[in-house]
Each structure stands twice: as C-alpha cells, then as structure tokens.
Structure 1
Amino acid sequence: MAQPDLTSHHVNYLIWRYLQESGHGDAAVSLQRAWYPDPQSLPFARHIKTHALVSLVQKGLQYHELESSLDKEGNPITFTPTDYFFGPEPFEVSSLKRRDDAGTDHPAPEPAQDRVTNGNPVEAKKPRKEANGDESMEVDEESKASVDGDGDVSMGADDQPPEPTLATGSSVGVQITPAKAADLAPDTAILHPDDHVVTTRWRPRDSTLLVATGETSCSLWKLSLSSAPVQNRFLNLKGSGAYVSEVAWDALGTKLAVATIRDMKGAITIGLHWAEDSPQLVVVASDERTSELALWDDNRRPDVYPPPQMIDSHVYDLAWCGRSMVFACGNGAVYQCEVDQNIRLTKTYTSPDAKSAWTFIRCAYTPSYSVAVAASSANSAVWILTHDILIENAHQDAITAIDIRPAGPQSQQSSTITIATYSVDGFVHVWHVDLESKQHKHLHRLRLGSSVPALAGSFSPDGYALSAVSRDQLFIWNAERGGDPMATWTAPSAEHVKEDPDHATNGHNGHTDPFPDRDISWDHDGKKLVCGFGNQVAIVNLQR
C-alpha cells in the first residue's frame, strides 16, 4: 500500500496540535475557524502522537545535517555552521527580549481577579514559560520525556495522545478563554417595531429576510447591505380582539404559517410545527384538559384535513423526530405519534412523577438513533424518555428552554448527544449523554451573572456556538470550550426594554413567573442571530 500524499490537512493538523500543546490556545482556535471546524474528526488524527510536529522537525534537522555532511558520491565532507538549516547566526534570546521590552510602551496586563471558568472560580496559576518563542522547546518537568537518537519526543508505544483541549472543556492553561468577551454592539443593527416583540424567526436558507411578531401584528423585515431595513407589516389585528399566537416557516422558506386566537387571557393555545423535510404541518390546539393534533399537508387541497388526534392532556410543546414521527409533551406523560396520511397516537410514555408538567421537548434523528428529550420547567428535571434516562434537579430554579446540539457528520455515527438546559437560576448547563450506557455527564456550567436569568437560547446550526438571552443581554459561548462567553451584546437602552408583567416566559410554554418574552433565532449558517427585546429587535452579526 502506497504512502498517502502529504496534504495541507496533514500540515495544518500538526500545527493545530502543536499550538494546543504549547499553550497557544487562541491561535489554535483561529486556525481551526479558518481551516476546518472539527480537526479531531479527520481520519488520521487518532494516529498522531504527542509533540509530533517537534519530533518531525528534529528528525528533519538531523536528516539535513546528515545530507549536508556527504557529497554526491556519499563521501564525508566538512559540515560547517553556514550549512545550518536556520543559518549560522546565533539566536540570542536575551537580546531579543531586551529589544522587545524597549520597543513597547504598553503596560503589563494586570493579573485577572475572580476569573470564572464554567461558572466556577479558579485559582491563579504561575506564569508558564513561552514555547515556540523566547525559550527552547521543553516538556513540563513533571512529565518530562526523553529524546531518543532519532529525535523522537515522547513517541513511545505506550504513550497515548492527550484528549484535545478544545474538546474537554476543562483545561484552563491550554484551552484559553478570552479574558474579555467580544462586544458585538458595533456589529448589531436595531429595528424598532411598533408592537411588543414576542417571536423572531429567520427565513430558512436566507439571511436577508426575517419575521417578527407582536401581540397583534406580524411583519417581514428585508435586510440589505446598501440600504435601511424595509418593514412589511402584512398582519395587523389591533382593535379586532384577536392576537397572534404562533408563527412558523416551512423548511424551504416558501410558506409562513400564522396562528391567531381571540382571547389572550383564555386557556386555549395554538402551536405550529412544520416537518423538516416534507410539506406537512402539525397544528396543536390545547385547553387546560385536552388537546387536538391536526395535520395539514401541502400536497392536499388546502381545505382538506384528516381526522385529528385527540390527547387527554394539555400539550405544552411538540417536536418532529425524523420524517414520520412527532412527540408531544403534556402533564405526566409524553405522547408519540406516527405521521403519514394522517396523525395517530402510537405510544404514551408515562413519567416517573405523574404530576410533572413536561413543558419543553426537543428531538434528534440520525442513522444511529432517534431520541426525544423533555424538560419540566417547574421540577427542573430532564427526561430522555426514548432511552429511560432521567436527570433530576438539573437546575436550582425553573427551566426556561432546552436544546440538542446538532450532530456533525462524524458524531452521527455515535450514540452520544449533547444537551443544553436554560434556567432562571442564571445558568446554562451543558450535558453529555451516552444513550447506550444511559450515563450522563455535566460538561459545562455557564454563568450569565448574578440574578441574570437565562430566558431562551439554542445551539447554532453547525453546533459551534451556544447562545443565551436574558432580560437585556445576549451571551454566546464556544460550545466545546464553555468557560466565559466569547461574545456578548447588551441592549443599548434599558428604558426601551419595557415589559408587560403579565407575559409568560417564552410565550405559552413558559412558567407563569413575571419574566419577559424572549426569543432568539440563528440564521442558516450560524453567522447571525435575531432576538426581540421588548419593543426592539436586535440583529447580531457574529464574526468568527
């Protein structure tokens, strides 16, 4: 079998690993963003040993010296300093330091105080020596490795490469978290609708069009780089006694469904849920005791509905799981329904606590698994009902939202998922769950701030970032690293964020504590977010 050709992916991966191992985490992240989002998923990555790039360079220098000490016939010749690969000039580290010190007038950075990683304070660490800079390449004294005659560093058969620092979320020294989050205010545009903003949604596959709903209105906003945003208010119910209940795009962005209700203070709620890859829409109408799941199919006549499925419970939320299955969560149970030409109940999952109101549900479907995850706002519990996994006391206060991290091409073959849970306790928790072993691990505890509730949030479509929104702030984390936010945005004027205390968190699904409506939506490529804050809409451009 021939040796594979050397490609830029091989070289970039070695550099990326070296940057991590030498403490230059920020540079490693920059390379990763510009080159390849998941270097550890490359097929050759598992074969690369620790300090591989340093070892290859040392071997190359030895080969260069050997080659330069022989003539074309293989006879020994004198090897002089002029033949050195880096030239004959001595490298004076001390003089380089003096020149650097003399050439800068910037004050030394003050030591960080009360630094928080994943929501927990960490002790200050001793300064580490520079690598690939002022000092020779060394391995830490505690794990000092030998260099053999061939120039190998820590290349023994039993030496396994460490887990990548960008994937562990626990390394502080190498996994560098920005000391100060990037302020997204310069890259944020503010829209000012005339109504209290309840829902904001990007059009699928289009970062220039979004829909924003108020209590009595619904508007499309067209964005342009060369002109001001244009508003098209296509629905205005003010004075009619009707209110906007829900809005939803279909998967292609060619249709927009809007649901309205007559009595804002009544118990009836309506939800709209499009399938991800078919023109089918499930409409959920619920009162306090019963619910009706109706199927609308764009392939049929608009006025033709198959018989609805009745549920003996209030349905708080519904999610599609693949092309032909939906899960609806209610009081003490979650209901699995099959969808084809009609919709019908096929299984009922009864929760361990029959009194639990399961207020949120999210699903994921891959070739390896189909999974449904429900959360109880009041009980702060997470229930992976399809795999009989229960996470009790996930938060110290009410849960406001959950999300499942989108699976990449490699992780689709795995049996693990990553879940984010949001709470008014001021934290976002990230969980790693193994569906086969039924084990779960707490990866990150992301802190918004003292008395700063996490009211909504989600993963970006590519799974790279994780967002959360509070009363007047937006937070964005690297989903792998966790730690401190990599970017934030604050509403420009607190007096503009006026709220009605009667609003429930996240519309009808939230608990009834006086927390304001907040909604957040990523565009299709994870570069922009839109969120509503009172009577303003923020369009945030996330630079990566």
Structure 2
Amino acid sequence: MAETLSSNVVNYIVWRYLQESGFGNAALQLSRCWIRDPETLPFAESTEPHTLIRLLQDGMCFDQLQAEACNTEPRYRFGDDHGRPYSVRNGALLTLDKGIPAHELATEAGGAVQEPPPKKGVKRKKAKPTNGVEPRPEPEVNGDAMEIEQNGATHVTNSVRAESEAMGSEAESATVAEIPISTLSIGHDAEIQTEVVADLTPATIFVPRPQDLGSVVNFTSWGPSESPVLIAAGVSLLQVHLVDKEAHKGAADVHLSVNSFAITALCWHSHGEMTVSAREQCFNEVGEKIMKDKLIKLIDGGENSQVISSQAGLVNTLRWNADKELLLSISTDGEKGSIKIWKNASDAIPAWTEFTNTAILDALWISESAFVVCGIRLFKIYEVNETLTTQRTLATQITWDAMRYDPSSGIIAAIGMDDLTSCLGILHPNDSTNLQTHIYPDQYLTDLDFRVRTTTTNALTNGSSVPPVLLATSSMAETVRIWDANEPFKCLKKLPTTDGAQAFKIAFSPDGQLLAAAGPDAVTVWDVERREVPVASWRAKDWASDKWDPSKDGEFSLGWDPDSSRLSIALGNQIAIIPIPR
C-alpha cells in the first residue's frame, strides 16, 4: 500500500524545493507560517535533493502510462509553451541553494530579508553581505527534467525570484507573530492539505423506520419541483415523506387496493399523479399462493387510486412520455421481454404490445415518439406512431443493465457485462448504427449518469470549442470516472471516493453543479468544474447502527431533491436525508 503523505512531509519537500530553486524569501515565509526549523523533522535527513521535482515527474510518467494502458487521455497537460523562465539569477540576493535553513540565514541577517538590487537611476548605498555568502559562480546543471527548456537551452534554477516577485520589508520580515497561519495544515495527516472537505454527517436527517418489520425500501424517488416530496417504495411499503431543510415532517402511507404487496416500479406523471406496479400475494380457494400484478394510477397526491390493468405482467420499468401522455411498461414473460404502451388510464388493454426474444432490463423515451430498450444481448430502438415499429436493432452480445440519455446531444450511454467483464457503451447520433463498446478499466461497473447541461456548466472544455458531454460512472473499485461522451471513450477525470468506499450509485444534481457517488458506507460529493478534491463527504461509521447500519441487505438507492439542496440514500428499511450546503 502506498505511503500516505502528511502535511509535514508535503510542507518540507515544498520548502526544500524553494531553497533549491533559490526562492529564499518564499522559503523563509513558509517556515515562519509552519515550523521554525524544518530540518529538525525526523525524516529530513533521509529526504534527497530535488524530491519534489522527482515526485512530480514520476507522477507525470505514471499518468502517461495509465492513459496508454486504459486508452484514455492523460489527466495532466501543460502544453509545449511553458512561458519565460520562472526566475533570473542574481547572486547578490538571499539564496538557499546549499540547503541552509531559512531561519538561520534570517538570524544572520538580523531578522531581515535583504532588499533587491537598486534600479537604475536610484542612488542607494551598496549593502554589504550580511550572511557571509559571496556571489556564487554559475551553477552546474543537475539533470532534472524541469531544468531543461523546450528549446533545449539550459535553465538556471538557483535564483531567488522572478523580477516581478515582491520582496517583504524589514519590518514585515521581523513581525513573525502577525503572519497568518498557512493554508497548509500544521502536523495533521491528510492526503490533500489545502482543500476543505465539508462533513455532511452531523446534519443528517433520518426518516423513522416503518413499524412493519417486514417492510423493505427497494427504491426512492423525489417528486417534481412542484411537489418536492420523497416517495419510498418496496416490500409492504409505499409512503410519501415530507422533509424540510431541517427535519422530517411526517410520512403518509399510500393506501392501495391490494394486500401483501411489493412495489416493483413507479414513475411520476405530474406533481400529483404517478403510476406504480404492485405485485400482490394472494391465496386461492384451496390455499395455494398466487401472485397478481397490477398497474395502479395514484391521483390527488396518493389519496386516491385506480387500477389501470391487471394484464401488465411483472413490471420492472415504467416510463412516462409527457409530450404524448403515453405510459411505457416493461415486463418479463418467462424468458422474453414484453413491451406495453398505454394511451389512457381508463384502458384495461394496452394500445401497443411487442415482445423480444430475451429479457428487457431497462427502457427510456428518447423523443416524443421513440424509445430505446436494452437487456440480455439486446439494444433496440422503437418508434410509436399509428403502429409500433422497430427503428433500429444494434448488434450486441453484451447484457446491458442500465441506460441514460442526454437530450442536449442525443447520446445514449449504457453499462453492462460480457461474461465477467464490465462494459461501457455509447450510441452517438453521428454514428447511429454502431453501438460503441469499451472494456471498463475498473472492476465492477455499477452506475452511470449524464450531467444536465446548463449555461453555467461548461468549464471543462479542455481547450476545445465544443463543450464536453459529461458522463459519470461508478464502480466497486473505489473510484469514479468522468468521461466526455461526445468523444468516446475519453476519460477526463478519475476521482477517489471517501475513504476508498465502494460506490453503488452515482447522480448529478438537477442543476448540474454537483456530483454525488454513494454506497452503504459513505457518500462523496464533488464540484467537478472546480476541483477534483471532494467538496463534501458523509460517513456511516459516525452513526450507531440504530440510525444507519451499512451491513443491511437490500437494494441501495440514491437521489437528489428538485432544488439540488438535499440527497437521499436508502438501504433495507433505512432512509437518510443529507442536506447539502450551497
């Protein structure tokens, strides 16, 4: 396992780099803000010269090798033009290239940093060297990669500062107590020293667990912006939860005309209407257990309901087409997939029906009249007009588990498995007959999500005039990847999760500004436009098991509320609401 750097180690190698490069004033200021004599640290003697440069250069090499192995672009690019040399040599200035601690040179200089050389036209007394260091000869090139300029000229690295660097006055240098504490932590271990990660755990709101011990939450769904309630559904459970920014205000059970039921799918129509699929357990006259599947429409916020059909089968997916007011249901009939489309809630029989040779695992509307389905060796697009017709059939041998659609670009992304290998798929409108597939570089791909494109979410252009279509994917390998779906399969970022926790689900906030990845043990939130370090994290271990038990069995779910201010996670019969400070 790789060694974790502490803030003292990071500060020290930065301090040494400043000395070796001749930035004496900067090294002196860092030591005053951090520790008076860095050379007294236990590891100082074993730290070789130019450690920071070598660490960075090794990281660049590793990044290039990883990009080649994963067939992606390197994360770090600085271009061919690095600007003018960062400093100009002047041997009369305070220099620390021999590794003399900054505080010792400052003591020899009477606590003051020497002034820079006078400009032409200004009369100034010639200052005598106060530190006993005479102007040095030209240094030897040490061979480090960062000392060679792009044109092949040798870059001298031992001067104090660039001509434009400001020098502190004698009074400022002597007033040590007034210098604020550095943003680098003092003596605290941390992988990232300069970025604050908000702790979301203390503000968590826990929804009271159902009184029925057999109730299980299989999934949750936030209502539309007009009705920001949280629906919890599963085994013997269909509840509407009212949660404000500070507390759980209560829950209302939705009364269905079924007993001993399990909700297998649901979808919102509007702020007061939704459809659910309920599997009811019944017994016939001789005591044999039988299962009945019903589509039920809930109206008036769930206060009333009506059965649409008892012929939909075991439904695993429901999708609502608001433009044409069509309800798409996907079910399994034996080993085959079944597609049914309903025009009116009062119709007991679907308007269109179609079957596939293998099971369907997910479906999405991609226009007013077209939808896509995926499943076992299945990827197919249908068109609904007067009849239900096949628009395209994409050849594939992969079992596709889940899909997402980006309406701004027309791109469809999917995740699946080929035997034991995780795969990422992209169907781009510029190549609409070719389902492009990519072996996922991390183990066990779990979820995906597109970021909604807004006027404020376009910073990650990577120098291109075309903004990327951001696609996030999660896996069990403790990392999240950000892809540009417009350039399959270009990985833009690789983000580590909180404490290396597994991410079961991933979701961009509705406003497109934040990305959340979550599993039973932890939640990680990033602002992908601004930094790769998380902006916030949540840990299950900070709570007792009566509040949140990550070892419970069941489906894990993650969701954002409509205004992007709260996250919900659910597992077993547990639901937690996590406010997100904005």
Q: What does residue 198 of structure 2 align with?
A: 182
Question: Of the candidates 460, 464, 469, which is equivalent to residue 417 of structure 1?
Answer: 469
Give the letter aligned to residue 470 of structure 1.
G
Is 2:498 aligned against 1:480?
Answer: no
Q: What does residue 350 of structure 1 align with?
A: 395
Q: What does residue 43 of structure 1 align with?
A: none
Is 2:497 aligned against 1:448?
Answer: yes
TM-fit CA distance, 1:318: 1.0
| Unaligned runs of at least 5 residues, structure 1 | 1-49, 52-90, 117-176, 504-515
TM-fit CA distance, 1:344: 3.4
Distance change in 2, residues 1:342/1:110 (3 Å): farther
Give the letter aligned to residue 360 of structure 1.
A
Q: Is the 8 A contact 2:381 2:391 kept in 1?
A: yes
Q: What does residue 471 of structure 1 align with?
A: 520
| Partners of 2:368 and 2:456 in 1: CA distance | 21
Is 2:273 aligned against 1:255?
Answer: yes
Distance change in 2, residues 1:230/1:258 (3 Å): same
TM-fit CA distance, 1:343: 4.0
TM-fit CA distance, 1:497: 4.0
Matches within 5 A, 1:194-205: 194=210, 195-205=215-225
Matches within 5 A, 1:5-84: none
Cα deviation, 1:275-294, whole Å, max 9, x if unaligned, reads: 35453221111245211111
Question: Of the candidates 411, 416, 420, which is equivalent to residue 371 of structure 1?
Answer: 411
| Partners of 1:104 and 1:410 in 2: CA distance | 34
Question: Of the candidates 410, 414, 433, which is equivalent to residue 485 of structure 2?
Answer: 433
Distance change in 2, residues 1:421/1:101 (3 Å): same
Give the letter aligned to residue 110 of structure 1.
I
Give the letter aligned to residue 580 of structure 2.
L
Q: Is the 8 A contact 1:294 1:343 kept in 2?
A: no
Give the letter aligned to residue 419 of structure 1.
L
Give the letter aligned to residue 233 of structure 1.
D
Q: Is the 8 A contact 2:479 2:500 kept in 1?
A: no
Matches within 5 A, 1:186-225: 186-194=202-210, 195-206=215-226, 208-224=228-244
Distance change in 2, residues 1:398/1:94 (3 Å): same
Question: Of the candidates 332, 337, 343, which is equivalent to residue 291 of structure 1?
Answer: 337
Q: Which moved more, 1:407-416 or 1:439-448?
A: 407-416
TM-fit CA distance, 1:440: 2.8
| Partners of 1:181 and 1:226 in 2: CA distance | 21
Give the letter aligned to residue 394 of structure 1.
Y
Matches within 5 A, 1:304-319: 305-319=350-364
Is 2:563 aligned against 1:525?
Answer: yes
Q: What does residue 186 of structure 2 align with?
A: 110
Q: What does residue 457 of structure 1 align with?
A: 506
| Partners of 1:487 and 1:284 in 2: CA distance | 37
| Partners of 1:179 and 1:92 in 2: CA distance | 27
SS in 2 for 1:392: strand
Identity of aligned residues (%): 19
| Partners of 2:367 and 2:456 in 1: CA distance | 19
TM-fit CA distance, 1:432: 1.2
Q: Is the 8 A contact 1:202 1:523 kept in 2?
A: yes
Distance change in 2, residues 1:108/1:484 (3 Å): closer
Cα deviation, 1:183-231, whole Å, max 9, x if unaligned, reads: 1124331112313322111111146411111322100012346875111
Considering only CA atoms, is the larger Rg found in Structure 1 or Structure 2? 2
| Partners of 2:376 and 2:349 in 1: CA distance | 30
TM-fit CA distance, 1:522: 1.2
Q: Is the 8 A contact 2:405 2:412 kept in 1?
A: yes
Question: Of the candidates 529, 536, 539, which is equivalent to residue 574 of structure 2?
Answer: 536
Q: Is the 8 A contact 2:343 2:351 kept in 1?
A: no
Q: Is the 8 A contact 1:456 1:470 kept in 2?
A: yes
TM-fit CA distance, 1:532: 1.0
Q: Is the 8 A contact 1:292 1:311 kept in 2?
A: yes
Give the letter aligned to residue 102 of structure 1.
E
Give the letter aligned to residue 203 of structure 1.
G
Q: What does residue 252 of structure 2 align with?
A: 232
| Partners of 1:419 and 1:361 in 2: CA distance | 11
Distance change in 2, residues 1:107/1:363 (3 Å): closer
When normalised by structure 2's length, the TM-score is: 0.57
| Partners of 2:382 and 2:516 in 1: CA distance | 31
SS in 1 for 2:360: coil
Give the letter aligned to residue 258 of structure 1.
V
| Partners of 2:566 and 2:246 in 1: CA distance | 18
Give the letter aligned to residue 341 of structure 2.
L
Is 2:430 aligned against 1:384?
Answer: no
| Partners of 1:178 and 1:208 in 2: CA distance | 36
Cα deviation, 1:239-284, whole Å, max 9, x if unaligned, reads: x44311112212x323121112247999955211123545322111
| Partners of 2:183 and 2:366 in 1: CA distance | 55
TM-fit CA distance, 1:525: 2.5
Q: What does residue 294 of structure 2 align with?
A: none
SS in 2 for 1:102: coil
Q: Is the 8 A contact 1:405 1:419 kept in 2?
A: yes
| Partners of 2:550 and 2:342 in 1: CA distance | 35
Greater RCO structure (CA 8 Å; 6+ sep): 1
TM-fit CA distance, 1:346: 2.0
Q: What does residue 328 of structure 1 align with?
A: 373
| Partners of 2:348 and 2:315 in 1: CA distance | 22
TM-fit CA distance, 1:304: 5.1
Q: Is the 8 A contact 2:245 2:579 kept in 1?
A: no
When normalised by structure 1's length, the TM-score is: 0.60
Q: Is the 8 A contact 1:248 1:274 kept in 2?
A: yes
Matches within 5 A, 1:500-519: 516-519=554-557
Cα deviation, 1:475-522, whole Å, max 9, x if unaligned, reads: 111122452221112232345445787x6xxxxxxxxxxxx4211111
SS in 2 for 1:434: coil
Q: Is the 8 A contact 1:462 1:525 kept in 2?
A: yes
| Unaligned runs of at least 5 residues, structure 2 | 1-81, 84-166, 282-288, 292-312, 459-464
| Partners of 2:387 and 2:252 in 1: CA distance | 35
Distance change in 2, residues 1:180/1:309 (3 Å): same
TM-fit CA distance, 1:305: 2.2
| Partners of 2:249 and 2:276 in 1: CA distance | 22
Aligned residue pair count: 373
Distance change in 2, residues 1:330/1:465 (3 Å): same
Distance change in 2, residues 1:224/1:375 (3 Å): closer
TM-fit CA distance, 1:462: 2.1
RMSD of the TM alignment (CA)?
A: 3.6
| Partners of 1:235 and 1:424 in 2: CA distance | 38
